[in-house]
Amino acid sequence: YPAWDWRTCTRDMIVNYNGRLYRVVTTPTDGRPPDADGMLAVYRPIVPAHAGTMADPIPWVYGMDCASGLYYSYNAAVYLCKADMKPCVWAPGTAGLWQWEAVDAGETEA
């Protein structure tokens, strides 16, 4: 993936910034980097190469897009995402959230 350069970013492009991958959500208008405060409207962190199944959950990263029905891992646990969250700023396992359901890694998928 190309190194991040805000002047060349286009929508849906994937860029590498400080070893993390980001999808460009909308064309940037200034040089603030993807991990700067307020930039989730422009860049979303991604973790490619995971199926989002219980056997291959996607490692959760603050601000990533999370999709209902996919599985994510966080703090050595696996969670089922129960609602689309774009971007997701609530970590799996946060008390009081119905959007995440902890699952037993020994369960089988239906």
pLDDT digits (tens, 9 = 90+) for 39-91: 999 999 999 999 999 999 999 999 999 999 999 999 999 999 999 999 999 99
Q: What is the pLDDT of residues 89-108, one digit of tens each?
A: 999 999 999 999 999 866 55
Residues 61 and 45: their CA atoms lie apart, in Å, by 7
> Which pLDDT score, from 0 to 100, does residue 110 have?
47
12-26 pLDDT tens trace: 999 999 999 999 999
Contact 34, 17 (CB under 8 A): yes
**Among 70, 55, 61, residue whose Cα is nearest residue 101:** 70
> First vs last Cα of the chain: how many Å apart?
35
Question: Tokens representing 11?
Answer: 């929508």
CA distances from 37 to 11, 23, 100 (A): 20, 16, 25
pTM: 0.90
